[in-house]
Structure 1
Amino acid sequence: MVRLYTNDLNISYGERLIVKDLSVDIPDKKITTIIGSNGCGKSTLLKAITRIISHQSGAVVLDGANISKENTKILAKKMAILPQTPESASGLTVGELVSYGRFPYQKGFGRLTKKDYEVIDWSLEVTGISDFKFRPVDSLSGGQRQRVWIAMALAQETDIIFLDEPTTYLDMAHQLEVLELLQKLNLEQDRTIVMVLHDLNQAARFADYIIALKDGEIVKAGNCEEVIKHDVLRKVFNIDAEIGRDPRTNKPMCVTYNLVKGDFLHEEDNYPLYSAAGASN
């Protein structure tokens, strides 16, 4: 059974249609990565699935219910999102910021319970930042701050976590640190992870399922072997890519590429847009 899927989803900003008739299943307890060029609708799709923005038609369905009609606190107990640019945490300690993840469970005056404190401490421990609990968030490095935001998402105790470009502005070591943490959460706790990534090789290395978007439509969705391919990348990114094998994981990787000049999509090059055959209805 698929817990989360979209059905004929259309999302617009004003008169501009960004996502078009998009139907796709999100595999449960797997890592799904959304890839595509800037402005193709990756972040827009993520925001619509998590109800940060509304969609014009179609549906996002979670556990058999249309999320547009779901109670906010109930939805917040099922899915958490780490946006591309989290709101400022100026003046907050690490523990205080992580405690915000307990909002869906608070009643009355919103005082934290013993259970809340236990979950907060667990989230800090899992993400390896227990020693920073009383330190100001502003005093941490980029990678450490990203771990704090992930800890806040974990404190929501949701089965599904969405992340919009979680490695942005991080150096290579901290990018790997964050992605390995997310992989650990998936493997050890069965968390469903859905994230937007720009780096194709990171997507291939860490994702079980990849959704490749172009102009608000799915070009291809599947495992890395099905998506990280010359013809798919040509269609999605307008690049002529050389695909090799990662010597450590044996997964496909983009070794090098050139821009395709001029009218790169001739009739014989057309790659059919993805059809969500078997998508839930």
Structure 2
Amino acid sequence: MARLYTEDLNISYGERLIVRDMSIEIPDKKITTIIGSNGCGKSTLLKAMTRVIPHQAGAIILDGRSISRESTKALAKKIAILPQTPESATGLTVGELVSYGRYPYQKGFGRLTSKDMDVINWALEVTGISEFKYQSVDALSGGQRQRVWIAMSLAQETDMIFLDEPTTYLDMAHQLEVLELLQKMNKEQGRTIVMVLHDLNQAARFADYIIALKDGQIVKAGASEKVITRDVLRTVFQIDAEIGRDPRTQKPMCITYNLLKGGNENEKTANHVSALVGSHS
């Protein structure tokens, strides 16, 4: 049994049901990527699994206990989350922002201990931003700022890190820089990484496990070869894709695609949903 899983999970915003009856396991010490069209429930699922938002029914289990029963500090020692739009760090230095990751371990007046400083310096070094420790976060490039937020997550010393679209607003080089850093953390430190990505080829290249969502339900989950397929992409994104192989990684790759048009194509896609949902494992 995985350390983190959901059972018949329902998540709503007001009266609108976003995620329906979802049961999924997050593989330990692997990189899991959640894909799907806008509004399908990707970020909602991520937020619920980290208790940023509540769920209305079902259960989210971590280490044999419902996360709703964990204290905030106890949960923060197990799970770190980097939201899609991190809060402003105006006026903070890199070192100061990374030090916020030590909050779950602070007592009393919250002074940083020598152990805290060791962990902060380690997080700065691992993410390659030690030289910016005393610089303002505002003065950094987008890719460098994203590394600072990841370093703050590392400073929490959690086994699991959740990231909501960590490559948003970054150019191609900085996107690759961030994803390679996450992959390195997974391979060398055994961290469980769960992230939402829009780029299908990045998802296929870096993920060990992909969860494809449509309308709050799982269409398919598994290795990239099982998920990045013509049928699944037709169902999830309403596109007719040509799938090939990345010549460097041998992972599946979306080479080109067209939008599905016309009633017949939409009918075919509807039929694919019933065939795929429920057979995602």
Q: 1:277 to 1:218 in 2, by over 3 A?
A: closer
Partner of 1:145: 145
Counterpart CA distance in 2 for 1:85 and 1:22 is 26
Decide whether the 8 Å contact of 2:164 with 2:197 is kept in 1: yes
Counterpart CA distance in 2 for 1:223 and 1:121 is 35
The C-alpha deviation readout for 1:78-131, integer Å capped at 9, x for no partner, is 000000000000000000000000000000000000000000000000000000
Decide whether the 8 Å contact of 2:231 with 2:272 is kept in 1: no
- 1:229: Cα distance to partner? 0.1
Partner of 2:96: 96
Aligned partner letter, 1:67? I
The C-alpha deviation readout for 1:157-178, integer Å capped at 9, x for no partner, is 0000000000000000000000
- 1:274: Cα distance to partner? 3.5
- 1:267: Cα distance to partner? 5.4
Q: How does 1:57-76 map to 2 (within 5 A)?
A: 57-76=57-76
Q: Report the 3-state secondary structure (helix = DSSP H, G, I; strand = E; otherwise coil) of the residue aligned with 1:270.
A: helix
Partner of 2:225: 225
Percent identity among equivalent residues? Answer: 78
Q: Report the 3-state secondary structure (helix = DSSP H, G, I; strand = E; otherwise coil) of the residue aligned with 2:75.
A: helix
Counterpart CA distance in 1 for 2:245 and 2:31 is 20
Counterpart CA distance in 2 for 1:33 and 1:274 is 18
Q: 1:257 to 1:159 in 2, by over 3 A?
A: same
Q: Report the 3-state secondary structure (helix = DSSP H, G, I; strand = E; otherwise coil) of the residue aligned with 1:86.
A: coil
- 1:69: Cα distance to partner? 1.0
Decide whether the 8 Å contact of 2:165 with 2:197 is kept in 1: yes
Counterpart CA distance in 1 for 2:90 and 2:229 is 43
Instruction: Find 1:270's aligned residue among 269, 272, 277.
Output: 272
Partner of 2:159: 159
Partner of 1:5: 5
Aligned partner letter, 1:5? Y
Aligned partner letter, 1:266? E
Aligned partner letter, 2:267? H
The C-alpha deviation readout for 1:49-81, integer Å capped at 9, x for no partner, is 000000000011000000011111110000000
Decide whether the 8 Å contact of 1:217 with 1:273 is kept in 2: no
Q: Report the 3-state secondary structure (helix = DSSP H, G, I; strand = E; otherwise coil) of the residue aligned with 1:17.
A: strand
Partner of 1:78: 78
Counterpart CA distance in 2 for 1:107 and 1:275 is 47
Counterpart CA distance in 2 for 1:191 and 1:267 is 40
Aligned partner letter, 1:237? F
Ranges of 4+ aligned residues in structure 1 off by more than 2 Å: 262-278
- 1:14: Cα distance to partner? 0.7
Partner of 2:190: 190
Q: How does 1:197-216 map to 2 (within 5 A)?
A: 197-216=197-216
Q: CA RMSD in A?
A: 1.2
5+ long unaligned stretches in structure 1: none
Counterpart CA distance in 2 for 1:111 and 1:270 is 57
Counterpart CA distance in 1 for 2:251 and 2:46 is 26
Counterpart CA distance in 1 for 2:191 and 2:161 is 7
Partner of 2:112: 112
